[in-house]
């Protein structure tokens, strides 16, 4: 499908029944709205639509269905898997004008918002009431509620709060045929057959368009303690994790990174390690609550029991921010100091140690000397695996090899019951690898659902899997 393929009678119908600024075909806007943060696909949408509300989305979808026009739903376009990329003349349906937020319901602890509301704006809207929507990650300044829900977004606080899925009470969805569904309203409990919300959460816009949501809120966290620990290896990271989960505190983050990551952060950001001696791995642990004396006793015991080789606790907010910035600068520092190939995978926590050591062996035998930078939300079993290009290897060669190494890594992921995409989704980027995580029976069921909900195949076609 190319730009020219948008049917004339479809365009005429849009022009007749929508405001004049509803649709654009300006080349600059096609470029901008045709892609997300994934930079490997050439955007080529046929048009971009900017509805102001659900009623317009519904009428628009009915027209698209009638004329068999493919639609790519689009939020903050911060995705990393190409889920919001339009490269075949589709119409991008941008929710950017749908940013309305209703007053916070202080009895139910909920807020109703349109799908285009920006994550951080929701946080700011709720914070004066001591409440928050605990969906939080680096791109919160641009990502939207609808995009977060459509990708079931994760982040650094999943260990404390769970994924986005847990924080959506009600969902308003427009179907491929243009029907508006109001799913679950603002109910905590509603056992009346299959929970239809769940179909749309994490489906990357392939089953319906999320237009509004009633978000579940929680109290802003109280005082948080931030610790950085040095441990020799992944096995020690996991021993400490097991211990920390039994400690007299509530874990709100358990993040890990290797010395290789830290070295690149130090090089790029000129940040200092708080430790004298380097160590194989580091753990950033954030906690809430707990009796201070009990927490102190636990901390002391970590050294006595040999669970950590070094450790520091942030004294005050500025130091806490310094420790967090070591972890949060990793992505940027890796990109700034080299060429890399990334993956976002997950494993059952119990299999992480075996996986990491087998992964080391695979890379060591296939690509001796290549640098692998591992970090991630290890408390959720989530690893970000980054392969750095050696100076001596050409870029094209490197990416060809990296792609091959993906297969070797995904074989291990499959062997250990893991997922090839922990939080970034499948989109276009991981589509060819979906079979490593989904068995043939699951793939068939995914196709069955897609055909049942979008028989004309107009909703984000080609994303996740081909029908």
Shortest distance, position 84 Cβ to a second copy, whole Å: 14
Which of 9, 26, 55, 188: binder of a second copy (CB under 8 A)?
Answer: 188
Q: Give the Cα separation of 276 and 279 in Å (integer).
A: 9
Instruction: Note whether 417 binds a second copy by CB under 8 A.
Output: yes
Count of CB atoms situated within 10 Å of the CB of 71: 25
- Which structure tokens are listed for 132? 């928050």
Considering the complex, state which of residue 62 and residue 187 has its C-beta at the smaller distance from a second copy. 187
Shortest distance, position 74 Cβ to a second copy, whole Å: 18
Q: Give the Cα separation of 102 and 393 in Å (integer).
A: 54
Instruction: Note whether 467 binds a second copy by CB under 8 A.
Output: no
Report 24-43 residues binding a second copy (CB under 8 A). none
Instruction: Note whether 1 binds a second copy by CB under 8 A.
Output: no
259-269 helix and 330-337 helix, angle to the nearest 10 degrees:
70
- Which structure tokens are listed for 296? 């102190």
Site string for a second copy, 149-168 (x = CB under 8 A): --xx-x---x---xx-xx--
Shortest distance, position 270 Cβ to a second copy, whole Å: 33
209-216 and 168-174 as β-strands: parallel, antiparallel, unpaired? antiparallel
Which of 109, 142, 309, 313: binder of a second copy (CB under 8 A)?
Answer: 109
Give first-to-last CA distance, the chain, whole Å: 17
Report 299-328 residues binding a second copy (CB under 8 A). none
Which of 8, 42, 107, 277: binder of a second copy (CB under 8 A)?
Answer: 107
Distances in whole angstroms, Cα of residue 39 to Cα of each of 11, 43, 79, 160, 430: 29, 10, 10, 32, 14
Count of CB atoms situated within 10 Å of the CB of 3: 15
Considering the complex, state which of residue 20 and residue 246 has its C-beta at the smaller distance from a second copy. 246
Instruction: Note whether 348 binds a second copy by CB under 8 A.
Output: yes
Shortest distance, position 367 Cβ to a second copy, whole Å: 26
Q: Give the Cα separation of 467 and 443 in Å (integer).
A: 10
Residues in contact with 355: Cβ distance below 8 Å, sequence separation at least 6, in sequence order: 347, 412, 413, 416, 418
Which of 179, 301, 325, 404: binder of a second copy (CB under 8 A)?
Answer: 179
Which of 424, 429, 460, 462: binder of a second copy (CB under 8 A)?
Answer: 424
Considering the complex, state which of residue 91 and residue 207 has its C-beta at the smaller distance from a second copy. 207
**Part in contact with a second copy (CB under 8 A); list of ranges 18-26, 35-43, 374-382, 388-396:** 374-382
395-415 helix and 352-366 helix, angle to the nearest 10 degrees:
150
Shortest distance, position 292 Cβ to a second copy, whole Å: 10
């Amino acid at each position: 499908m190319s730009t020219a393929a948008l049917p004339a009678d479809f365009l005429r119908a849009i022009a007749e029944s929508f405001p004049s600024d509803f649709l654009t075909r300006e080349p600059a806007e096609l470029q901008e709205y045709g892609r997300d943060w994934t930079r490997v696909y050439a955007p080529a949408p046929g048009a971009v639509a900017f509805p102001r509300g659900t009623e317009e989305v519904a009428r628009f979808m009915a027209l698209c269905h009638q004329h068999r026009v493919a639609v790519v739903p689009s939020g903050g376009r911060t995705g990393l898997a190409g889920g919001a990329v339009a490269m075949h003349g589709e119409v991008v349906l941008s929710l950017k004008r749908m940013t309305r937020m209703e007053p916070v319901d202080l009895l139910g602890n909920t807020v109703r918002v349109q799908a285009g509301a920006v994550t951080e704006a929701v946080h700011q809207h709720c914070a004066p009431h001591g409440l928050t929507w605990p969906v939080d990650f680096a791109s919160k300044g641009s990502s939207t509620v609808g995009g977060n829900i459509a990708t079931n977004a994760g982040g650094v606080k999943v260990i404390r709060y769970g994924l986005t899925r847990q924080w959506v009470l009600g969902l308003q969805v427009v179907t491929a045929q243009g029907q508006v569904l109001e799913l679950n309203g603002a109910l905590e409990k509603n056992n009346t057959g299959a929970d239809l919300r769940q179909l749309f959460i994490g489906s990357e816009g392939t089953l319906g368009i999320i237009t509004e949501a009633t978000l579940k809120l929680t109290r802003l966290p109280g005082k948080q303690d931030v610790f950085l620990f040095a441990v020799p290896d992944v096995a020690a990271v996991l021993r400490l994790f097991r211990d920390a989960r039994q400690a007299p505190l509530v874990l709100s983050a358990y993040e890990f990174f290797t010395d290789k990551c830290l070295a690149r952060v130090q090089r790029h950001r000129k940040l200092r390690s708080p430790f004298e001696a380097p160590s194989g791995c580091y753990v950033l642990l954030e906690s809430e609550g707990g009796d201070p004396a009990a927490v102190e006793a636990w901390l002391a015991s970590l050294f006595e029991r040999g669970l950590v080789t070094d450790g520091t606790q942030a004294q005050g907010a500025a130091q806490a921010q310094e420790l967090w910035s070591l972890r949060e600068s990793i992505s940027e520092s890796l990109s700034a100091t080299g060429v890399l190939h990334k993956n976002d995978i997950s494993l059952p926590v119990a299999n992480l140690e075996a996986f990491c050591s087998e992964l080391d062996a695979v890379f060591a035998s296939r690509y001796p000397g290549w640098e692998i930078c591992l970090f991630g939300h290890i408390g959720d079993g989530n690893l970000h695996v980054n392969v750095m290009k050696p100076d001596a290897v050409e870029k094209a060669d490197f990416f060809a090899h990296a792609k091959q190494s993906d297969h070797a890594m995904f074989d291990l992921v499959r062997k250990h019951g893991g997922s090839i995409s922990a939080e970034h989704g499948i989109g276009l980027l991981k589509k060819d690898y979906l079979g490593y995580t989904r068995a043939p029976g699951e793939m068939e069921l995914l196709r069955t659902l897609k055909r049942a909900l979008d028989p004309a195949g107009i909703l984000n076609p080609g994303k996740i899997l081909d029908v």
